[in-house]
Structure 1
Amino acid sequence: MSTHNGAEVLDRVQAFLSRFNAFPDEHCAPMLALWYAHTWAAEHFYITPRLILSSAEPGSGKTRVLEVARFLVKQPEMTFSATPAALFRMVGAGPITILFDEVDAIFDNKGGGNEDLRALVNAGYKRSAMVARCKGDAGNMVIERFPVYAPAVLAGIAGRMPDTITTRAITIHMRRRRPDEQVESFRERKAEAESTPIREALAAWMESVGEQVGAAYPDMPTGVTDRAAEIWEPLLAIADAAGDHWPTTARAACLHFVTAAQTNPTSDRIRLLADLRTVFTDRGVTRMSTVEILAVLHSMEEAPWGDFYGKPINARQLATELNAYGVKVTAYKNGGKAFKGYVIDGPNGLGDAWARYLPAEVPTAA
């Protein structure tokens, strides 16, 4: 397959996977086509971004995405309950793509015995990653180091995966199909036969450009930096190699997913900082009393502050959460009256925490 046919190959991959899935937006299918392509050249990249398929409820199409992916990615290994020992050895034996359904179960703190799987999923996004494990009995113990680098799709219920995974991933928030959203019936034998030439074309094209895309440093959209840039580098490099509309399409998808990740905070503290920035910005003020801040936080219907561990967040909890960022209660006067609250400027102000821990505004995709 000539390197000049990359755009056509990716178009075929996107068209095939779109037949069987109803995605929440137009950026999902091209992103998946690029992600599937990167599995064929993963050994050339420094990292492999995790792909998360999450949903609020079962029956939202996550498993169907995995079933279709089996016919497009390199060496698929679809698993529901593989033992840690089996997965470690499969990954160590050669390049595979892990398609992990119901993965949220291994991150459930109520369950035990999944530490090895969590270690594999956490560390395996980086090519140099190794996980050490003890082998043998007490009298003959040896350390065995396993390479754990492997592309992985992780499907599970939203909110049950830790930050160590979600911050290294591109996440699609799947939704149940509406009655008017029609997809083609999935017949495995038919899908396998029809996908074979597409998969072979994808494999051949990626083999021809693997070293090129692995060495590339693609330009990032404005505002995409640090971890987000690291995650998207392989996909944008592939898009640039494909040419045609793919460089533009891929960067639009990049902005979409990065913006979505930044507007879905990964912890209560980050959410609190983000909500406070919104409160101060909307009111155009540089300081607010604790009483006023709490009243506004409690009124946010979609925020957790009205029911923070069973009760509305109080002044002590607010101070504790913000103190982790060096933000402290400040005394100030307004109209001759004394108040205690929080300010933007100064060594103990919110401004420094916002600059350090919240993303800058990212332009939305056209």
Structure 2
Amino acid sequence: MSRIDLNRGAGAASTATGPDDAKAASPAFSPSTNEETAPDEQLPGAVSIDGADLLNRVRDFASRFICFPSEAAGIAQVLWAAHTHLMDAWETTPRLAFLSAEPGSGKSLALRITALLSPLALEAANASTASLIRALDDPAGRPAFFIDEFDTKFGPKAKGDEELRCMLNAGHSADGFFLRNEKEKDSWHPVRRSAYAAVALAGIGNILPDTILTRSIVVKMRKRLPGQQVESYRRRDHKHLGEALRDELAAWADQVRDAAAKHRPILPDDISDRDADVWEPLFTVADFADGEWPALARQAAMETMQSGKANNKPSLGVQLLADIRACFGDKDRLPTADLLDKLLADEEAPWGDLKGKKLSPRILAEMLREYDIRPSSTRIADGKTPKGYMRGSFHDAWRRYLPPLETGATSATDATNQESLYKTGVSSVADKTVLLSCGGTAEAVAEPEG
């Protein structure tokens, strides 16, 4: 069966194909059924180190010390650490963000363990952007950055750091760069400098700027419940075990490097565009590891993305669209005054205090103009024609930016209930979360064979 046939049969999104040898090396995986079939040919070079066994031992090692919030989070952490050993094989590299609502949730430890498993790891807290940029030219090789206390840069009390944000955004892509003026003799010249680098972050709160968030795999760390136990990480006792695993990951990466660069993983239907940029390197790692990892990677991706969408707060503009849809109910037009009354009646909504100002006809019109929605004269029952909004003007924006209403939700009450679920992030994803037991296996986790 050809690669294209596999994509069609699994209901997967069509993907670009590489050279013939890469296509022959692609594992036959069905995202819709989580089933695996043996590839027609063995992956080139993957002979001396069992990738699946190696990733299993990496997962067990990390789980000894980290109480992950879900199995998907642990899978993503292992795959991300492995992908840092193949940076020259990727077009994009996802950011890995360990975030938590409160201190003491294990995010800094998760960052430290991930750094231990990665090559040329540079751990920093509250580092200046200039120092990170200079580190990109390290003669020993381009480092993988591990930035703790990221909330000091983008938290509620921070001023932000546009230069750092731009660097992290550009460095997501292998061809990302920034310009720097460098002096040559007596004149200055703009020079392109590569920004490409693996980056993991840790911080308190939902602190990621949107442009970084869309390039990230987010792991929401939580305090352990009573009865959830993990082993205390001690550098002097455990560092050598992590280093042994790191060296094995490097040796395994050398075996699959050339074929991995040509590999085009099969993507589930719901993963495309920026999400594909984030997950393709990790899928490739999983495909070359083989065993259960191709299925685990795709399941982890879907769960992580669904959880992220359920918990992410929409932008102010999207929240306005959602609230307006609830206000319309089954009406086909609303005068501006009536629409504002409905919006301002919700005391929990932000419309009564927008940086010290209440939502007004002018502010409403400015916000909606971003979505090509404009007020017009609307004829009402008494024959008057006040300024207002037609339902049809919102259809395109609602389809593009909001989830569809459930079939049969035509009343204002039904619509309001659904918009409330959307705004607060409540979903069946959270309801189905299974509490995991913490603590990995201590038996020969990181002891390399031979």
Give the 5 Å matches for 1:250-329: 250-263=297-310, 264-265=312-313, 267-276=315-324, 279=326, 283=329, 291=338, 295=342, 298-299=345-346, 301=348, 303-305=349-351, 307-310=353-356, 313-329=359-375
SS of the residue corresponding to residue 272 of structure 1 reads helix
Q: Is the 1:92–1:148 Cα contact (8 Å) retained in structure 2?
A: no
Q: 1:106 aligns with which of 147, 150, 153?
A: 153
1:358, 1:214 → 2: CA distance?
A: 37
What TM-score comes out, normalization by structure 2 length?
0.69
Give the 5 Å matches for 1:181-200: 181-200=228-247
Call closer, same or farther: CA 1:115–1:319 in 2, change over 3 Å.
closer
Q: 1:26 aligns with which of 64, 71, 90?
A: 71
Query: Which stretch shifts more, 55-64 or 289-298?
Result: 289-298
Partner of 1:15: 60
Cα RMSD, aligned residues only:
3.3
What TM-score comes out, normalization by structure 1 length?
0.84
Call closer, same or farther: CA 1:145–1:288 in 2, change over 3 Å.
same
Q: Which runs of 5+ in 2 are unaligned?
A: 1-45, 406-426, 433-450
Call closer, same or farther: CA 1:109–1:262 in 2, change over 3 Å.
closer
Give 1:19's aligned amino acid. Answer: R
Shift of 1:45: 0.3
1:336, 1:3 → 2: CA distance?
A: 83
Q: Which runs of 5+ in 1 are unaligned?
A: none
- Render the CA deviation track for 1:210-262: whole Å, top value 9, x for unaligned: 23233222222222221111111111122222222222221122112222343
Query: Which stretch shifts more, 328-337 or 97-106?
Result: 328-337
Q: Is the 2:154–2:160 Cα contact (8 Å) retained in structure 1?
A: no
Partner of 2:127: 82
With a CA cutoff of 8 Å and minimum separation of 6, indicate the structure with the bigger relative contact order: 2
Q: Is the 2:378–2:389 Cα contact (8 Å) retained in structure 1?
A: no
Call closer, same or farther: CA 1:329–1:109 in 2, change over 3 Å.
same
- Render the CA deviation track for 1:115-141: whole Å, top value 9, x for unaligned: 543332221111112222123499543
- Render the CA deviation track for 1:130-169: whole Å, top value 9, x for unaligned: 2221234995434343222100012223343322211111
1:223, 1:340 → 2: CA distance?
A: 40
2:389, 2:143 → 1: CA distance?
A: 51
Shift of 1:288: 5.4
Q: 1:50 aligns with which of 83, 87, 95?
A: 95
Shift of 1:48: 0.5
Identical-residue share of aligned pairs (%): 36
- Render the CA deviation track for 1:268-312: whole Å, top value 9, x for unaligned: 1133334555x379x5666556535753675374x5445443466
Larger Rg: 2
Call closer, same or farther: CA 1:276–1:203 in 2, change over 3 Å.
farther
2:345, 2:61 → 1: CA distance?
A: 47
Q: 1:351 aligns with which of 395, 407, 411?
A: 395
